[in-house]
Amino acid sequence: MSRRPINCVLSALAMVLLMAGAAMPVGAFPAGSPVDVNGRLSVCGTKLCNEHGHPIQLRGMSTHGLQWYSSCLSGKSFNTLADHWGADIIRLSMYVQEGGYVSDPVKFTRIVNRLIAKASRRGLYVIIDWHMLNPGDPFVNLDRAKTFFKAMAARHADRPNVFYEVANEPHGVSWARLKSYHEQIVALIRKKDRDAVILLGTRGWSSLGVSEGSNEREIVRAPVMAKNVMYTFHFYAASHGTEYFEALSRASQDLPVFVTEFGTQSASGDGANDFERSKAYLKLMKKRKISWVNWNFSDDHRSGAVLQPGTCESGKYKAAGSLKSAGIWVRAKMRTKDRFPKK
Ligand code: IDC
């Protein structure tokens, strides 16, 4: 018997579900997509392992602040990342201040839920980023962070593809203080979500302490005592040279590290690209299987926004000339084949 009528019925059903805004069943990911291939991830020693126990490296893009550039968060832009860029992961950068979460918690919670569903339908991993920036002390927003992560963990605990990043770039606070924040949020997430990987911000704008005269040793001496946690490191190649590079190199031998943000330009997210130094970082991250996420997938005017202004509005992501130089460079680094170990 021909399978066609069954397929028709199934796709009609899928259409109805999609139109009704229903979530696809958790666990159904497009064949061959990063989540289909790797499943639920966990921390194994200093590495990130897939469900078959193989260490893997994920690569992807961060959004700009979710309160800005909403046209860059369309289905088409997610398709571009999944299919054309070969991204494994999308980081949802939900600013806390600057017109972000605090201005309308219900709205931003809804936006994040919607985008998680969108990434999941494409078989991508997704980072829920509590993008605290100023003030640098995460305790200022503690109650809000608790409300947010409680809602996130309750809703997404069954998804195998979600990461929680609990503090983007803390600064001006000691590791002891930061550690106590992390412990509270980790405990709260774990009440609902027993095993998703939780990403912990480090001192000095997630520099492992380097930009505040410290380094990874303070974390090695007093790590957060929890399973499936990793420490974040951010760098901007034109600003952050040897000291940062060496800290990442040392730290990744002692701690599970995830680069949840990097730029090929200066820390302002703008200015000239330093592709030479970026290349050295990428080489190190490949060797050590350190996952990375580039800042940012938007058409903001700054050099770190990978798309040319106007691209998201026009939807012509694949057109010649749609990418800035950072975009051309990063996409080429992301778009490589057979990067995951066989099942
Ligand atoms: C920048 C954006 C810029 C925005 C600014 C203030 O590119 O458009 O006006 O934030 O919010 C970070 C931060 C990230 C910064 C980025 C570049 O996590 O929010 O984005 N950066 O400056 N840390 C180091 C660099």
pLDDT digits (tens, 9 = 90+) for 71-112: 999 999 999 999 999 999 999 999 999 999 999 999 999 999
Contact between 281 and 245 under an 8 Å Cβ cutoff? The reply is yes
CA 230 to centroid of ligand 1, rounded, Å? 22
Short-list 145, 71, 66, 77, CA closest to 113: 66
Residue 169 is among the residues annotated as catalytic for this protein = yes
Model confidence at 343, pLDDT cuts 50, 70, 90, reads low
For range 243-262, the mean pLDDT: 98
Pocket mutation for ligand 1, best pick of 103, 132, 134, 268 (most atoms within 8 Å of C-beta): 268
CA 295 to centroid of ligand 1, rounded, Å? 9
3-state secondary structure of 55: strand
Ligand 1 pocket member 299 (CB < 6 A)? no
322, pLDDT greater than 60: yes
Residues in the chain: 343
The pair of structure tokens assigned to 240 is 């952050």
The predicted structure's pLDDT at residue 181: 98
For range 309-327, the mean pLDDT: 97
The pair of structure tokens assigned to 95 is 């600013």
Which residues is 293 bridged to in the sheet? 60
337, pLDDT greater than 90: no
Q: Which amino acid is at 88?
A: D
For range 116-137, the mean pLDDT: 98
Residue 261 is among the residues annotated as catalytic for this protein = yes
The predicted structure's pLDDT at residue 9: 46
Model confidence at 336, pLDDT cuts 50, 70, 90, reads confident
| Angle (nearest 5°) at CA 133 between 128 and 138 | 80
Give pTM, 2 decimals: 0.93
* Average pLDDT of the residues of the chain: 93
Q: Which amino acid is at 286?
A: K
Domain 8-334, classified CATH 3.20.20.80, yes or no: yes
Return d(Cα 67, Cα 73) in angstroms, integer: 11
CA 196 to centroid of ligand 1, rounded, Å? 26
182, pLDDT greater than 50: yes
H helices present in the chain, as ranges: 4-19, 34-38, 75-79, 105-121, 142-156, 175-192, 203-206, 217-221, 242-254, 275-288, 311-314, 325-334
